[in-house]
Structure 1
Amino acid sequence: MPASAPSLSLTWTDHLSGCRGFLVVDRLVRGVASGGLRMRPGCTLDEVTGLARGMTLKEALHYDPEARYVPLGGAKGGIDCDPRDPEAYGVLVRYLRAVRPYVESCWTTGEDLGLSQDLVDRAAAEAGLVSSIQAVYPLLDDEPGARRRLADAFAVEVDGIGLGELVGGCGVAEAALTALDRAGVPHRGTRVAVQGLGTMGGATARFLARAGLTVVAVADIKGTIVNPAGLDVEVLLAARDGHGTVDRAALRPGDRELPGGAWLTADAEVLVPAAVSYAVDTSNQERITARWIVEAANMPVLPEAERLLAARGVTVLPDVVVNSGTNAWWWWTLFGDVGPDAPEAFAYLRRSMRGLVESMLTRAQTDGTTPRAAAHALAEERLPVIAERFGSYR
């Protein structure tokens, strides 16, 4: 889809630390846009601009005229700061104070790379906000009921992990499983490597392992843990810290430690980059032997690298579809398409993701294009329909 100028783009500088933060609103629908807030060293305005555009596409791709879920525009926030820095929380609070008028009026946000939802909620309260998603409240028919429903959903736990932390990975896993099923590849015996064991990567590893796939490699900030016979995903998840780093004391005798980039060359059919953007570039893509790359992270494969991968027969399932489940689940729950119940949420999410991935892959096959081009084409067809029905503000 051709890029257009965003509705809003701003850069903020923290007067105490010198850290910079960014907010980009790509598009408003009914005056509101949706998109998470990330914190990582090296975050840039260009990065946040691309992510905001991606959020516009994700909203459009999940548009269902029969659903209660009202599609929003796309936005994103980012802070150039290491979330492990002792001063990071103060930077987060000051950033939210600075952008408070936008959160109150038009930008609904939540956790993204480097930040948990609990941390965002705590900082938002300290910054004087009612909620990080309060801009959407005027669009609700029953605001108190909707807020209770979402709060109840976030209180649900499944095997010790919150439902809000699991839905995104469930969607990523379903995208991968749909591609395998279309290709006639059995789940059992299919090997997968995951980069990042935080909220998205950890949940994805859990759902793929429970579907019968063998997780042979996971990477965190300390390096890559591999075991050709299969890693014990549940043990690794239980041994994570708050940033997704695994305590190496939990490793089994057959588990080995390799450098951080080893996940790329793992002997696996499926790669799941679930951490940083720009992880796969033109130089390291040639070492990939997997058949599918499933983008759980935002923008992990550079465009030129994707072209080279496609020429080698490697299919990239794009982030705008693959990792859209978390955002969609928030709104399905808030607007009342699903209740605060894990089985109901997972079933609804799986149906939606499977239908979306099937549509994308069928379109790609029909048009002779990549899945990303097909996803963008689907979004381009839906955006005018959304704008005609709900109006847009640019």
Structure 2
Amino acid sequence: MTAAAPLLSLTWTDDVTGRQGHLVIDRLVRGVCSGGLRMREGCTLEEVTGLARGMTMKEALHYDADDPAARYIPLGGAKGGVDCDPQDPRAYGVLVRFLRAVRPYVETMWATGEDLGLAQDVVDRAAAEAGLVSCVQSVFPLLDDEAAARGRLADAFAVEVDGIGLDELVGGCGVAESVLVALDRAGVPRQGTRVCVQGLGTMGGATARFLARAGLKIVAVADVEGTVANPRGLDVEALLAARDAHGTVDRAALRAQDRQLPRDAWLSVDAEVLVPAAVSYAVDSANQARIKARWIVEAANMPVLPDAEELLARRGVVVLPDVVVNSGTNAWWWWTLFGDVGADAQEAFAHTRRSMRALVGQMLERAEADGTTARAAAHAIVADRLPLIAERFGQRR
């Protein structure tokens, strides 16, 4: 898929701290675009631009033109990013001021929400303080019944499963289903297949839970404090219960047989599946040589650099791309708001699994038929769908 210039690209500088925030609108469909807001030290305009382009792809990938019962119609892609450590005491003030600065875009065209470094409740609180009705209010004019839709979404965000919110789980459900599809297509038994997860935050934690419950063995997890490993399998539920708000595990919860390894040890863990679920640009051309896994499943956005992916492909390592793998959270928001699913966990999980199984299967079939990588196949599917979306609903670049 050839990258074109985004429709809108702006950088804001906070007059209090000097911190910068970025907003990139890659494409509008029906006058609206969708994409989360992240906060991390070192976030750049280039990063946000790539993420916005990825959101355009995720929206297109989940458009099913052949399902007459589907209520959700795709939006365009966008992304926001703030260059600030979310644990900085000044971070919340920076977030409020950024949202106040970009308020006209949120009100009219940019639907946003949680992303790396920001939980949804924090985004909602900051949006309200910035004078916004909702961080997704630009979508409201597209709804048949706004009150019912907003109530449905609020109810869905109140649902918890075993102590974890449904909004935190659906993304991991989609990542886990991507892994299971790859294993099933390769004829690899699920039971005992070893997995390493880098990042035990919202996405990584939920992925680890779903994979463990599917019979896979989580042999290592990594957070900012280091890598925790056990070749016999970690107690995933105990680790999830011992996390703080930023996904860091309290080491007091580890068992005697659990090993504490250096922070970058997750790269070389003996496992069939590696799930980078934290920061972007985690796998580069140098450290990719340490990876032993057969599959890398991108739960994070842009964790594998292009040159690293090329080298991995030469070694027979399959990278399942972020634009497909981690698209479940975004899709669930809109399935719920538009009414394709209700505020029910099992309904949401079933819909996510069906959608991801079909999408990942189509991507891998296309890659095999074309003799390309999974990412190239995903891009080809998007290239097929975008003209159809533009023809049916209009777009702006």
Distance 1:71 1:315 in 2: 28
Indicate whether 1:196 and 2:182 are aligned: no
Indicate whether 1:249 and 2:257 are aligned: no
After superposition, where does 1:112-127 map in structure 2 within 5 Å? Answer: 112-127=115-130
In the superposition, the TM-score normalised over structure 1's length comes to 1.00
Partner of 1:108 in structure 2?
111
Indicate whether 1:225 and 2:228 are aligned: yes
Partner of 2:336 in structure 1?
333
Partner of 2:43 in structure 1?
43
For residue 156 of structure 1, what is the amino acid of its counterpart?
A: V
Q: Give how far 1:92 is off.
A: 0.5
Counterpart of 1:154 (choices 133, 153, 157) is 157
Deviations 1:101-143 (A, max 9, x none): 0000100000000000011001101111000000000000100
Partner of 1:55 in structure 2?
55
Counterpart of 1:85 (choices 84, 88, 103) is 88
Distance 1:217 1:57 in 2: 31
Counterpart of 2:243 (choices 233, 240, 243) is 240
Partner of 2:170 in structure 1?
167
Partner of 1:290 in structure 2?
293
Structure 1: gaps spanning 5 or more residues: none
Partner of 2:371 in structure 1?
368
Indicate whether 1:315 and 2:318 are aligned: yes
Indicate whether 1:347 and 2:339 are aligned: no
Partner of 2:182 in structure 1?
179
After superposition, where does 1:17-36 map in structure 2 within 5 Å? Answer: 17-36=17-36
Q: Give how far 1:170 is off.
A: 0.2
Indicate whether 1:260 and 2:263 are aligned: yes
SS in 2 for 1:194: strand
Runs (4+) of structure 1 exceeding 3 A deviation are none
Partner of 1:75 in structure 2?
78
For residue 302 of structure 1, what is the amino acid of its counterpart?
A: L
Distance 1:9 1:144 in 2: 32
Distance 1:120 1:138 in 2: 21
Deviations 1:331-390 (A, max 9, x none): 000001111100100001000000000000000000000000000000110011011111
Partner of 2:101 in structure 1?
98
SS in 2 for 1:218: strand
Distance 2:220 2:292 in 1: 14
For residue 47 of structure 2, what is the amino acid of its counterpart?
A: E
Percent of aligned pairs with the same residue? 79
Distance 2:347 2:114 in 1: 23
Q: Give how far 1:393 is off.
A: 1.8
In angstroms, what is the RMSD of aligned CA positions?
A: 0.5
* Count of aligned pairs: 394
Q: Give how far 1:286 is off.
A: 0.5
Partner of 2:279 in structure 1?
276
Q: Give how far 1:285 is off.
A: 0.2
Q: Give how far 1:392 is off.
A: 0.8
SS in 1 for 2:266: helix
SS in 2 for 1:360: helix
Distance 2:325 2:93 in 1: 32
Q: Give how far 1:64 is off.
A: 1.3
Partner of 1:356 in structure 2?
359
SS in 1 for 2:99: helix
Distance 1:48 1:72 in 2: 18
Distance 1:22 1:70 in 2: 26
Deviations 1:140-194 (A, max 9, x none): 0100000001111111110011100000000000000000000000111100000
Distance 1:255 1:87 in 2: 36
Indicate whether 1:10 and 2:16 are aligned: no
